[in-house]
Amino acid sequence: ETGVTQSPTHLIKTRGQQVTLRCSSQSGHNTVSWYQQALGQGPQFIFQYYREEENGRGNFPPRFSGLQFPNYSSELNVNALELDDSALYLCASSFRGETQYFGPGTRLLVL
Amino acid sequence: AQSVTQLDSQVPVFEEAPVELRCNYSSSVSVYLFWYVQYPNQGLQLLLKYLSGSTLVKGINGFEAEFNKSQTSFHLRKPSVHISDTAEYFCAVIDFGNEKLTFGTGTRLTIIP
């Protein structure tokens, strides 16, 4: 059974640029959630996708957007990057309503 | 709204000594509770979870946690720690019918040889 995978592992961008992060969910899972973990903090919920629809959103501005594809993989897009967007971005997959399993994360540095 | 408090940001413990990491939660509805571990430069790994049933939950790597509804607590324990337990530990809660995990700020467990 393949676990949750994320790409890329690391990324460096400059302020104002746009970034796309990718997540492949665990086999059999139909829900993907995205979290932002700033240095020294716990993960914060960005949003969740279930069957290609957004299913809940945290306190993040609209420049954070996402997609879920028919194979349940997902993308997180961030436009107009700000310095404070530097963080570890975690993807978690689950079967709806059940335990979330996390990927290794993508570390984003905005200069 | 749900919230999680991990009172101890850092806990140093001698190797082979017992440890307890504290977690208190706040929610107006019934919840599911989780402990995740994060090793340096890695993602989160599920240690254990409480969904229903027995209030004492056993997880991986010899960890266990006890759900106490009256105290709204879900403390994590291990009777004898090892150097390899050095990591950041996060308590998390999810409301019934909700899909959003709310995490505490984490406890850094440092094992002293």
B71 reaches A (C-beta below 8 A)? no
Answer yes or no: are the C-beta atoms of A61 and A41 closer than 8 Å.
no
b/e map B64-99, b = 16+ CB within 10 Å = bbbbeeeebbbbbebeebeeebbbbbbbbbbbeebb
> Mind giving me the DSSP string for A6-25?
EE-SEEEE-TT--EEEEEEP
CA distance B43 to chain A (A): 4
Q: Which residues of B touch A92 (CB under 8 A)?
A: 44, 101
SS3 A84: helix
The verdict on a CB contact (< 8 Å) between B106 and A42 is yes
Residue with tokens 């009256």: B70
Q: Give tens-digit pLDDT for B33-60.
A: 999 999 988 899 999 999 888 899 999 9
Residue among A42, A45, A50 whose CB faces B90 most closely: A42
SS3 B62: helix
Dmax over Cα atoms in chain A, in whole Å?
A: 39
Q: Give tens-digit pLDDT for A12-38.
A: 999 999 999 999 999 889 999 999 999
